[in-house]
Amino acid sequence: MNGMEGLTSALTATDPPDEVLTDLAQLRSVLDVEVPAKALDRNLLIATWNVRAFGNLTEKWASTQDDVPKRDLHALLCIAEIVSRFDVIALQEVKDNLKALRHMLHLLGPRWGLSLTDVTRGDPGNSERMAFVFDTRRVILSGLACELVVPQEQLELIGPNALERQFARTPYAVSFRAGTKTFILVTLHVDYGDGAEERVPELKAIAEWLAEWARDINGWDHNLIALGDFNIDRRGDALHDAFVSTGLEIPADLQAVPRTIFADPENPHLDKFYDQIAWFTGRNGLPALSLEYSKGSFFDFPKAALISRGLTKTQLSWRISDHYPLWAEFSVRD
């Protein structure tokens, strides 16, 4: 069940050039090795990906220096192929312009579903949406979709620039079912602000809200997983400590992988810890995740996507992203 059926059927009337087909074949071969295959009634693949400024699209196979945006059909084919390898993926930085997202869904085909927020207004919101894209052959919506709002008494924990005294970009929660397993995914993109100290109150408020909600939904036997771009600088800093303060835990194998394509292998201590997938494991008396975690990692798309183009990392970041997809595999066997 890997890959897409008819991926290279026309977005335009012109067939993809040979170099695009060669790149796509290379990308698929690397994905086959590095991302687990979808196995019916056996596993669940959940991912999160900040796709840089995922909005408009230049409808050419190769954008030029004068084109705006730089994201083109070649890049979109690569993005869609990566997305297709997961059962459900949370996307951040989906913009008010939905052209690229709509074209991607067309590529994925009618068996793929979408749930997304409206645009967050105001400067801190950056005209962004949050979205979930999911393979309806593997998971279905189970009823809940909501943007999270904190109680009035907790508002003082959120920075003064938060939209309408709430989160700058409101966390988005959607419930899914895979077989007999039900789970709620909560995604967000924490406002970067002018400095790390501005992110601490928002991260702490999010952690406390999730902890309270986890206690409430435990009676319904729901699993709660937080994922997205939390803009955490480093493991063990004030931002990380705020995020895990109420009991959220990040699996060890996900703590060891880079988050951005600009990570420096020579200086791993400088790597940013932006993107996370985390859940409660029973610490602080909070209900533990009942899904069985298998493994997780990132996908290093720069070594396989757009390889014929000879792009710099900065150029690649505007065509695909500056963030790696981060994924986690769970067992759904009863």
pLDDT digits (tens, 9 = 90+) for 40-79: 889 999 999 999 999 999 999 999 999 999 999 999 999 9
> Do the beta carbons of residue 223 and residue 289 sit within 8 Å?
yes
The mean-pLDDT minimum among 141-145, 159-163, 248-252, 288-292 falls in: 159-163
CA distances from residue 128 to 93, 205, 279, 328 in whole angstroms, order as listed: 5, 21, 25, 25
pLDDT band at 269 (very low <50, low <70, confident <90, very high): low
- Count of structural domains, the chain: 1
**Residue 74 within any structural domain of the chain:** yes
More confident residue, 221 or 49: 49
194: CATH:
3.60.10.10
Using only C-alpha atoms, the chain has a radius of gyration, in whole angstroms, of 19
**Residue 11 within any structural domain of the chain:** no
What pLDDT shows up at residue 120?
Answer: 59
**Residue 2 within any structural domain of the chain:** no
Please report, rounded to a whole number, the percentage of residues in the chain having pLDDT higher than 70.
84
Beta bridge partners of 173: 146, 186
pLDDT band at 31 (very low <50, low <70, confident <90, very high): very high
pLDDT above 70: residue 236 = yes
pLDDT above 90: residue 115 = yes
pTM of the predicted protein model: 0.90
**Residue 277 within any structural domain of the chain:** yes
What b/e string do you get for 182-217 counting C-beta neighbours within 10 Å, with b at 16 or more?
bbbbbbbbbbebeebebbbbbbbbbbbbbbebbeeb
Please report, rounded to a whole number, the percentage of residues in the chain having pLDDT higher than 90.
58
**Residue 6 within any structural domain of the chain:** no
**Residue 4 within any structural domain of the chain:** no
pLDDT band at 217 (very low <50, low <70, confident <90, very high): confident
What pLDDT shows up at residue 284?
Answer: 83
The arithmetic mean of pLDDT across residues 145-151, rounded, is: 75
Task: Please provide the average confidence, as pLDDT, over all residues in the chain.
Answer: 86
**Residue 232 within any structural domain of the chain:** yes
> Do the beta carbons of residue 113 and residue 134 sit within 8 Å?
yes
> Do the beta carbons of residue 199 and residue 190 sit within 8 Å?
yes
pLDDT above 70: residue 155 = no
The mean-pLDDT minimum among 5-19, 97-111, 114-128, 260-274 falls in: 5-19
pLDDT above 60: residue 165 = no
**Residue 86 within any structural domain of the chain:** yes
> Do the beta carbons of residue 230 and residue 92 sit within 8 Å?
no
The arithmetic mean of pLDDT across residues 107-118, rounded, is: 95
pLDDT band at 160 (very low <50, low <70, confident <90, very high): low
Domain containing residue 312: 18-331
More confident residue, 172 or 192: 172
